[in-house]
Amino acid sequence: MKFSRKSKVSTEIPTASMPDIVFMLLLFFMVTTVFRQFSGMPVELPTARKIKKLDAKKNVVNIWASKDGEISIDDKIVVVTAVANVMYEKVIDNPNITTSLKIDRGTEMGLVTDIQEELREAGAYRINYCAKTGQ
């Protein structure tokens, strides 16, 4: 009696459905991804009778100052003496940068003056003061 030899079993992984799986994963991540926006510090902006919006947000650096004396530059907490160093780097990278100051209504004027002096040292002369509309 003669036994027949069995054919070898293939050990390959089938890749025919791979593009479908990759496309579904790509679509899933595109749908579920949320772009993060700057949240800033919780500050109560002063009111103004007339306000004007900034044209382009890509050349804007936001500086938040709370009434407790905390300063945040683009969502990073810094001390007053470090404002000049951080802003100098940003001005070197982009000379057309505008600094947007979002200062709490109850902030002491001494802190605002210190921030302005630090911005002067860094060469950031384009400054915008944020306010909300109201009387």
Residue 101 has which token pair?
């100051």
* pTM of the predicted protein model: 0.65
Cβ atoms of residues 119 and 128 within 8 Å = no
Choice among 35-44, 66-75, 76-85, 89-98 with the minimum mean pLDDT: 35-44
Domains of the chain in start order, with CATH, are 47-133 (3.30.420.270)
pLDDT of 95 > 70? The answer is yes
How far separated are the first and last CA of the chain, in Å rounded? 106
Annotate 43-81 with three-state secondary structure: CCCCEECCCCCCCCCCCEEEEEECCCCCEEECCEEECHH
Choice among 52-56, 72-76, 85-89, 107-111 with the minimum mean pLDDT: 52-56
